[in-house]
């Protein structure tokens, strides 16, 4: 009569325990009972015992049998199709919304954010690195043009830095036995096409004409950004594909192989002025760095599987299924600009897993969790070596990586920090206000921007709610960059920090979606209501 019957599918012992404490009874699904298994670790065994209810397991099993033919009014699963969602009654609570792939797949998020300027009059380029779906012919060509333009800007930056004495040609700073080639793509072995040839070297300075070509390209692009091509000031003809092939070959020699580049005085002044003007119109100019690194991602995979970093256009096109035209294989991939100018901690890359809860899509209602955790890489950050241990923060990836020799002693052995530890670190380095003034507001704006961009494609179901996990990296200026949004974020206790925080976010989720239905004034833990349409 009280409709306190629930079903949980998957490893969620905290949800089970909290619901039982509220007087709910579990209706077990066929085939979901746990069985003792050999060779299970202590953590896995503990999870099994929690699933079975500890000492109360037998009693719970008897009660569960009594409700096996009853309708569950709270359902928590790892996934649920849109069709299955529609089969449920409105009074059945479900921890999924239909069609969330529009924000939780890499391809879906990339496409949805195209709509943001119309949905919210916001610019996704201020929080989401440029991203292209390689299966779409127009986007594939747009990526090629973007890569070329970024190469031209990178050449100007490198030439200017060297002319001003701020940087020298790239040299390896890796330790003995470490990866030293810029072309390492995160595959099992470096791709030969990305590595400099044995005879490659600085050699004689390249002609100043290379800088002149880059200046011309960037001036044309700036004119386009100023809409001169629309307002009646026609631009010069574009470079041909053959021109670009020659330009990129010389660009690779300068930026990645250390070739010297002569820069005349008047060219230096033009570089400075042009880069200043471009910075006013390109929000990602600073974070994109000088190396033109792009990250190639399978469109619908998670946990870092299949991700590749590369610095060469031909390599992206080859890995995505051939250079000639989009293919069925390319449908698996999106390519995204890598954030090169990162906020690092003790020289090491990290990202943040930030939870948020959507309790309704119409009206859009969003809760932001005020606790989060950091995931560190195993090895120091390096743009000279693109191996996963330095660039992919996913726990499942880093668990397979050996920590670097001489790893900073203040980095956590389990590679996890809480956001409170980050705040303490920022205070130590003179950035005490960055978390509350820059990082958190930026993450909230990015989450809302992503949700607003997809809202019209979502189907609202009044009995649904969903907990998401957004992953953010941060630029040197502490501005957040949204990397992806995950459905069914892991609740596995991979560390002391995640054991504590994952239990809390599940507890507070139930406070919002169950307790507030009966008592709107009840505490919601660390969840903050940040948006209700």
Strands (E), 277-382: 294-298, 308-310, 333-337, 350-361, 364-376
Q: What angle do CA 219, 225, 228 make, to 5 degrees?
A: 80
Q: Which residues of 178-196 are buried (b: 16+ CB within 10 A; e: fewer)?
A: bbbbbbbbbeeebbeebbe
Nearest to 495 by CA among 414, 436, 433: 414
- Residue 59 reports pLDDT greater than 80: no
> Cβ atoms within 10 A of the Cβ of 403, count?
15
Q: Report the relative pairing of strands 74-76 and 93-94 from DSSP bridges.
A: parallel
Range with the poorest average pLDDT among 30-34, 360-364, 432-436: 30-34
Residue 320: band (very low, low, confident or very high) from pLDDT cuts 50, 70, 90: confident
Residue 322: band (very low, low, confident or very high) from pLDDT cuts 50, 70, 90: low
SS (H, E, C) 172-191: CCCCCCCCCCCCCCCCCCCC
**356 contacts 472 by C-beta, under 8 angstroms:** no
- Residue 524 reports pLDDT greater than 70: yes
Higher pLDDT, 180 or 17: 17
Between CA 465 and CA 33 the distance in angstroms is 26
Residue 303: band (very low, low, confident or very high) from pLDDT cuts 50, 70, 90: low
Range with the poorest average pLDDT among 79-93, 173-187, 436-450: 173-187
Residue 141: band (very low, low, confident or very high) from pLDDT cuts 50, 70, 90: very high
- Residue 110 reports pLDDT greater than 50: yes
120: burial class by Cβ within 10 Å (0-12, 13-18, 19+)?
Answer: middle
- Residue 328 reports pLDDT greater than 60: no
Helix (H, G, I), strand (E, B) or coil at 468: strand
Decide yes or no: CATH 3.30.470.20 for domain 101-121+350-374+412-532.
Answer: yes
Calculate what percentage of the chain has a pLDDT beyond 90: 61
The ranges assigned to domains in the chain are: 5-96, 101-121+350-374+412-532
Calculate what percentage of the chain has a pLDDT beyond 70: 81
Please report how the helices 13-21 and 496-510 are oriented relative to each other, as an axis angle in degrees rounded to 10.
Answer: 40
Higher pLDDT, 232 or 130: 130
- pLDDT tens digits for 115-129? 898 878 889 999 999
CA distances from 257 to 342, 405, 451 (A): 23, 27, 42
Radius of gyration of the chain (CA): 26
Please give the model's pTM, rounded to 2 decimal places. 0.87
Q: Which residues of 290-318 are buried (b: 16+ CB within 10 A; e: fewer)?
A: bbbbbbbbbbeebebeebbbbbbbebbbe
Range with the poorest average pLDDT among 8-17, 24-33, 230-239, 347-356: 230-239
**341 contacts 479 by C-beta, under 8 angstroms:** no
CA distances from 362 to 83, 121, 365 (A): 19, 19, 8
Residue 508: band (very low, low, confident or very high) from pLDDT cuts 50, 70, 90: very high
Nearest to 299 by CA among 163, 140, 134: 134
Residue 23: band (very low, low, confident or very high) from pLDDT cuts 50, 70, 90: very high
Separation of first and last alpha carbons in the chain: 33
Between CA 297 and CA 290 the distance in angstroms is 21
**HSE, side-chain direction, 13 A CA sphere, residue 183:** 17
Between CA 147 and CA 170 the distance in angstroms is 21
**373 contacts 308 by C-beta, under 8 angstroms:** no
**267 contacts 208 by C-beta, under 8 angstroms:** yes
Higher pLDDT, 179 or 332: 332
**What backbone torsions phi and psi does residue 47 show, to the nearest 5 degrees?**
-60, -40
Helix (H, G, I), strand (E, B) or coil at 53: coil
**What backbone torsions phi and psi does residue 451 show, to the nearest 5 degrees?**
-70, -40
Helix (H, G, I), strand (E, B) or coil at 94: strand
**What backbone torsions phi and psi does residue 239 show, to the nearest 5 degrees?**
-65, 145
**HSE, side-chain direction, 13 A CA sphere, residue 2:** 9
Range with the poorest average pLDDT among 75-84, 205-214, 300-309, 496-505: 300-309
- pLDDT tens digits for 419-462? 999 999 999 999 999 999 999 999 999 999 999 999 998 888 88
Cα–chain-centroid distance for residue 172? 28
Nearest to 155 by CA among 263, 42, 37, 10: 263
- Residue 470 reports pLDDT greater than 70: yes
Which pLDDT score is estimated for 236? 52
Q: Report the relative pairing of strands 350-361 and 364-376 from DSSP bridges.
A: antiparallel
Q: Which residues of 55-68 are buried (b: 16+ CB within 10 A; e: fewer)?
A: eeeeebeeebeebe
Which pLDDT score is estimated for 187? 36
Counts of helices then strands in the chain (DSSP H, E): 19, 14
- Residue 174 reports pLDDT greater than 90: no
What one-character DSSP code corresponds to residue 475?
Answer: B
């Amino acid at each position: 009569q009280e409709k306190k019957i629930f079903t949980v599918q998957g490893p969620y012992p905290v949800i089970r325990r909290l619901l039982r404490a509220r007087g709910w009874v579990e209706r077990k699904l066929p085939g979901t009972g746990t069985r003792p298994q050999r060779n299970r670790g202590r953590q896995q065994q503990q999870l099994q015992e929690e699933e079975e209810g500890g000492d109360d397991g037998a009693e719970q099993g008897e009660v569960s049998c009594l409700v096996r033919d009853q309708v569950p009014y709270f359902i928590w699963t790892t996934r649920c199709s849109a069709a299955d969602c529609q089969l449920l009654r409105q009074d059945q609570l479900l921890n999924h919304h239909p069609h969330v792939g529009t924000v939780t797949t890499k391809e879906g998020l990339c496409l949805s954010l195209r709509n943001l300027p119309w949905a919210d009059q916001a610019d996704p380029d201020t929080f989401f690195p440029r991203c292209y779906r390689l299966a779409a012919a127009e986007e594939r060509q747009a990526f090629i043009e973007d890569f070329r333009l970024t190469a031209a800007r990178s050449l100007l930056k490198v030439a200017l830095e060297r002319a001003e004495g701020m940087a020298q040609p790239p040299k390896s700073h890796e330790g003995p036995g470490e990866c030293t080639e810029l072309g390492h793509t995160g595959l099992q072995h470096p791709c030969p096409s990305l590595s400099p040839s044995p005879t490659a070297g600085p050699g004689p300075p390249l002609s100043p004409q290379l800088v002149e070509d880059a200046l011309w390209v960037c001036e044309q692009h700036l004119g386009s950004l100023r809409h001169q091509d629309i307002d009646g000031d026609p631009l010069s003809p574009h470079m041909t594909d053959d021109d670009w092939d020659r330009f990129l070959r010389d660009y690779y020699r300068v930026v990645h192989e250390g070739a010297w580049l002569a820069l005349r005085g008047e060219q230096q002044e033009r570089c400075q002025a042009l880069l200043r003007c471009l910075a006013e119109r390109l929000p990602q100019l600073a974070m994109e760095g000088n190396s033109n690194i792009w990250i190639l991602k399978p469109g619908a995979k998670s946990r870092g599987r299949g991700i590749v970093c590369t610095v060469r256009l031909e390599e992206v096109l080859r890995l995505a299924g051939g250079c000639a035209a989009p293919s069925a294989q390319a449908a698996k991939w999106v390519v995204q600009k890598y954030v090169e100018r990162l906020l690092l901690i003790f020289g090491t890359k990290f990202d943040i897993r930030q939870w948020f809860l959507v309790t309704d899509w119409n009206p859009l209602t969003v809760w932001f969790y005020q606790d989060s955790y950091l995931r560190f890489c195993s090895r120091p950050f390096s743009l000279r070596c693109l191996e996963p241990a330095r660039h992919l923060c996913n726990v499942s990836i880093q668990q397979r990586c050996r920590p670097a020799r001489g790893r900073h002693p203040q980095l956590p052995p389990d590679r996890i920090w809480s956001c409170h530890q980050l705040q303490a670190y920022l205070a130590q380095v003179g950035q005490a206000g960055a978390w509350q003034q820059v990082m958190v507001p930026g993450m909230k704006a990015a989450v809302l921007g992503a949700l607003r961009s997809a809202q019209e494609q979502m189907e609202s179901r009044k009995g649904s709610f969903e907990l998401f996990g957004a992953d953010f990296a941060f630029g040197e200026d502490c501005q957040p960059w949204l990397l992806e949004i995950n459905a069914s974020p892991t609740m596995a206790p991979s560390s002391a920090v995640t054991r504590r925080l994952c239990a809390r976010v599940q507890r507070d989720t139930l406070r919002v979606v169950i307790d507030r239905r009966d008592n709107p004034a009840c505490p919601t833990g660390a969840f903050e209501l940040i948006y209700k349409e």
